[in-house]
Amino acid sequence: MNKRIGKVAAAVNLAAVVGFAVSMLLGSISGSYLTSIGIAFSFVVLISAFAYFGNENTRVAGLSALAFAAMYALCNLIVYFTQVTTVSHQGLNTQAAALLDYRQFGLMFNWDMLGYCLMAVSTFFIGLTIEADTKADQWLKYLLLVHGVFAIGCFGMPMLGLFTAGMAGGDWIGTAILLFWCAYFAPIGVLSIIHFSKKS
């Protein structure tokens, strides 16, 4: 059962990441938000599975990864649930939209960046739990650990005010960064499926 849950979580996460990339390329804002919700839900289960299969020596790293994964999911679910409910269905005045509309690089965008910072910290810790016995697991461990570097930019950029409403090319730059992230994270899903397939 635990092996199967890990594989399914990895597959759902992979599908959500691919769906997120496709939605951005097609310009489907609602699709991007809904697939992001799928990424958050499946990521928590995925990290739980990795933590479960970790050994005694990596227990603290696994529990830390799970805690950061839960914080990431909460941040991002608040952001994207707000977009598909309050922002989509209620006529917001200019001030409320500046805070709640993700596309205006305000409060919700900053929460989203904090969420991805927490996700990156989670992947770093869970990478420490993987015993890389095969080439595929070596790549998985490497990608998870290096993904932790994303935490620095995601935490620092909002503080530096690098994204602001109405900035020239803001939408294009944001989309390019997210597509790069999708291209980086999708192989983690594939390698995770392989990883759990070998578990007894």
pLDDT in tens, 125-138: 999 999 988 999 99
Q: How many domains does the chain have?
A: 1
Chain length of the chain: 200
Q: What is the pLDDT of residue 125?
A: 98
pLDDT averaged over the chain? 90
Please give the average per-residue pLDDT across 149-155, as a whole number.
92
Radius of gyration in angstroms for the set of CA atoms belonging to the chain, rounded to a whole number: 17
* Domain membership of residue 117 as a residue range: 2-197
pLDDT (tens digit, 9 = 90+) per residue, 87-126?
877 777 777 777 777 777 788 888 999 999 999 999 999 9
Quote the pLDDT of residue 88.
Answer: 77
Which amino acid belongs to residue 63?
L
pLDDT value of position 171? 65
78/48 Cα distance (integer angstroms): 21
Taking the complete model, does pTM exceed 0.85, yes or no?
yes
Between 31 and 170, whose confidence is greater? 31
- Give the residue with greater pLDDT, 187 vs 165: 187
Among 50-59, 115-124, 155-164, top mean pLDDT goes to 115-124
Distance CA 175, CA 60 (A): 35
